[in-house]
Amino acid sequence: MLDAAERLLAASTDYDISTRAVCEAVGVTQPVLYRIFGDKQGLLDAVADAGMERYAAQKAALEKTGDPIADLTAGWDDHMAFARDHPALYQLMFTPRPESGAATYRRVLDLLEATLVRCAAVGALTTDPANAARLILAANVGVALSQIARPRLFSDPRLSHEARDAVFAAVLTEPSPRGQADPVRAAARQLRSQLALSGTTALEDAEAALLDRWLDRIAAEP
């Protein structure tokens, strides 16, 4: 039923489906659908959740190179490509809705944050990886939804690239801590991210936790 619903959704002109059409496509009665999903919204939530799971797996499989900024750029463009190839499903996945699918959305955000930790580890991030991840994902989703909802206004592919470059410019810098306004904060942020990536055998767990707390406080100083 999920596959049938997604196919019907992709073929619709208004990104909507009927439960009757879904049932007819798989040869079951509507009471069967309602018993499994509760109602039409439950079915649509399940389709969105399945799409988000597939998208998260796709993001996790993206190649990781030695250049985290290039990987970040590729991730943005991959996101836009998914929206372009699956507009109805994408709109269902990323339009704000109740907490359905929240765990998978969090996993997508975590994958983006992991790339940003790598950026921070080479001194290329000017803010906290978690904050940067939320900003980038919100911008990426906003541009993608705008292109789907209003293609005449937002169809120019340069818009996505310009938005991407503007958001990246707000959180990224050249991959070197030299010349930054506060090199101590930059060094603390970089060391904390390096330790998050590779750890160290020089410290016991309690010592490593204390160092992480100190570095976090130094990096967060105004």
pLDDT at 86: 94
pLDDT at 71: 96
Give me the residue label for tokens 């797996």: 57
Distances (CA, A) of 162 to 107, 109, 120, 125: 26, 22, 23, 19
Answer yes or no: are the C-beta atoms of 56 and 111 closer than 8 Å.
yes
What are the sequence ranges of the domains in the chain? Answer: 2-176, 177-222
Interatomic CA distance for residues 197 and 114, integer angstroms: 9
Distances (CA, A) of 66 to 41, 55, 63, 69, 132: 43, 23, 10, 9, 20
Interatomic CA distance for residues 43 and 71, integer angstroms: 35
Write out the chain's pLDDT in tens, 222 residues.
999 999 999 998 888 899 999 999 999 999 999 999 999 989 999 999 999 999 999 999 999 998 999 999 999 999 999 999 999 999 999 987 766 667 888 889 999 999 999 998 888 999 999 999 999 999 999 999 999 999 889 988 899 999 999 999 999 988 754 445 677 887 888 888 889 888 888 889 899 899 999 998 888 876
Q: Where are the alpha helices (DSSP H) in 61-182?
A: 68-85, 87-94, 102-121, 129-149, 151-154, 157-171
Statement: 2-176 belongs to CATH 3.40.630.30:
no
pLDDT at 98: 64
pLDDT at 14: 83
